[in-house]
Amino acid sequence: MTPLLYVVVGSMALFLSTRTFLDAREDPARRAFLGFGWALAVCYFAFALSLLPGLRFFRVLYMGAACFVPATALLTFDQVFDPQESRTPTRSILAATTVVGPLLTVAHTVLAVDGGTTAPQILAGALGFVVLGVALARLWEAHQHTSLDVERVRLKYLIGVTVGAVGFTLLEQLTRVLTSPGTVDGLRLGARVAALQGPLPPFSVIFAGVALYLLHHILVLSRLLDLHELSSRIFALLLSAGMLVLIDGLTFLWVDTFSTYPLHTTFQIFLASLMFLAAYEPMRPYIAWASGRLLNQRGQRLQATLANLVVTLPSVIRKEALAEMFLSNLHASGRVSMCSVYLWDPRIAAFSCVSFRGGTKRPLKAVAAGPFTEGLVEGAPWYARATVARKARTEERAAEVLALLDAMRADLAMPFVKGNVVLGWLNLRDEEWSDGYSADEILKLEEVAALGSVVLGNISDFQQIQEQSRLAALGQMAAGLAHEIRNPLAGVKGAAQFLQAEALSGDSKDMLQVIIDETNRLDLVVRQFLDYARPFELDRQQEHVNAVVTHVLTLLRASGVPSDVEVVEELAGDLPAMSLDSTRLSQVLLNLMQNALQAMPEGGRLTVGTRRVPTRQGPDVVEIVVRDTGTGISAENMEKLFIPFFTTKVSGTGLGLPICQRIVDAHGGDLDVQSVEDLGASFIVRLPFAEAEPPPVTEEVAV
């Protein structure tokens, strides 16, 4: 059983270190962990084989590998907990080990007689434990210098387990030296293994395996296991192992012919173990639930809340309702002291805080796209404050992310991502007394956040369907209006014009003119409503945006610009041709410029500009900005600007801006407005940029 334990832990060291390295080969900490894992694996494999008869050579390999374990452990601790440039003593110790270790191993091989202890072996052990002491000192130094309570507690776990591994290794080595049996060639296998292992069981291997597992969690999950989570897992494992031992033990007692027919008894125990494993699979969730209920109640409450969110989230059809569902459920669980949801707001071109729960201080209202979202776009599954704080020592971007996490009062940020686009994120703040969110909790939160991403995408699609349905209904209404209103209007106008030819008094002529003017105005309203409601197709051509803007400005000047209004052009010179409908776009720009002039009754400045702007995703956009210095737009009216028939003008129809918005939407762009009351307003037309395809090159063929 003892050799098997060494092989199991050695295999775990080999597997975890190799897998961790292959996930990110450029990470210096993972490369150091690979060296540590392989040195430990070779050491344990060699020791396990040396316990078997006829394999004395592996004791030499065991000593050689054991010389490298302390140095690689020290290098791993340096790279993981102090990711700055490695310290000179660590490099020197590793270089000295590379030279001294093989020399002491060869000297021991030459001087060893009948497996006895030699001076080189004692010297190698002493040097190894000195280096292990330095490694423990580095861990303690990292514990003292961290400013995070969560990380300080978790480092205590790792220090405690590492001290156990080093301490039991020292005790086992001392008892082997003091109780050396000399030659063991004549002993049976069990007695030989016990004599070479020494009086103490291999407790050091168990502690070393746990320490290796914790280091793996730091590198892969960027955290240590929570104490409650670890206790729950160990309890579930011990409970399962106890059940297996009980069944195998009862089988062994029942089949009492092991000494006579060992093969039969072994087969019976194998069958009993196989039956247990078959029955264990359906029992495992209940065992995990029972252990969590006993030792990890706060984690159980959060798990139940997240399971409920998985069921209820798909029914949400509004972004605000989605945020409220996340926040109310998570905060009510008692596991989350404060939480907030940030979603992309195109009006301000930033992520805004939709809502929050808990805490006495409001989190940051808005966050720009970069640098917070850069890491998420590059593939980071989440931001954990402890991990970001560690990276912030050497990375400028991580320091900026850490500052934003503090401003948002968040310890964990789970993103909502669709493709390579960040839609927003969920912020969670942990209790001050807690050791932080466990690995299981973080992974479950990641699953729920992924479901939230899908729901957000569905909400956007649903809103587009609603808009299409609304436009279809308006189209049907417009067709009815065209039939019911325009024909009678033509009759009323024709009758009024016929009466104008009659000899009537002055008042009667004036009233007829009022009828004709109002009929014309009503006809204009109906025609604009038809333009807004019914579908239309763009006549796209390769056009230069600046040429369209210049043409519209010419039309504006020809129609008359007040003398007290200054028109300023700020056209970018790096805008190639684009695919657009110049007639429709001219209609939009002319409407916006006329509105700007009407907003400056006492004069001012009308600025028309173009520019190319990069975006978070996809192609760049071309912006056409129409800015005035007029009266501006009140906050109340800002929300109603694009509602059909809403107008603040005496003679306006309230359909100009909605029609402009439809034309811009048809181009795949958007129409935005920014205004400060009494200081002016800016209307921004954003069109997706796509360079014109070069004309095909034809080659002349000589005949």
The pTM score is 0.49
Distance CA 460, CA 317 (A): 9
The per-residue pLDDT for 140 is: 87
Q: H or E element: which one contains 311?
A: helix 297-312
Tokens 């080093």 correspond to what residue?
166
Residue spans of the domains in the chain: they are 2-224, 226-295, 300-463, 464-533, 541-688
CATH T-level fold of 300-463 = Beta-Lactamase (3.30.450)
For residue 159, the one-letter residue type is: I
| Residue 197 near residue 180, CB atoms below 8 Å | no
Instruction: List for the chain the helix, strand, coil content (%; round to 5).
Output: 60, 10, 25
The per-residue pLDDT for 696 is: 44
User: What CATH number matches the domain at 464-533, 3.30.70, 1.10.3470, 1.10.287, 1.10.150?
Assistant: 1.10.287
pLDDT for 103-153, tens place per residue?
888 887 777 665 567 788 788 888 888 888 888 888 888 888 776 666 677
pLDDT for 636-674, tens place per residue?
788 778 777 777 776 666 778 888 888 888 888 889 888
Distance CA 226, CA 296 (A): 10
What is the dihedral sign for C-alpha 278, 279, 282, 286?
negative
CATH class of 2-224: mainly alpha
Distance CA 685, CA 549 (A): 12
Mean pLDDT over each residue of the chain, to the nearest integer: 78
Average pLDDT over residues 331-353: 85
- The region of weakest confidence among 24-38, 121-135, 275-289, 686-700 is 686-700
The per-residue pLDDT for 684 is: 92
Q: CA 154 from chain center: how many Å?
A: 24
b/e string for 32-51 if b means 16 or more Cβ within 10 A? Answer: bbbbbbbbbbbbbbbbbbbb
- Same CATH topology for 2-224 and 464-533: the answer is no
Strand segments (E) across 495-589: 541-543, 565-570, 578-580
Q: Per CATH, the architecture of 541-688 is what?
A: 2-Layer Sandwich (3.30)
The per-residue pLDDT for 341 is: 93
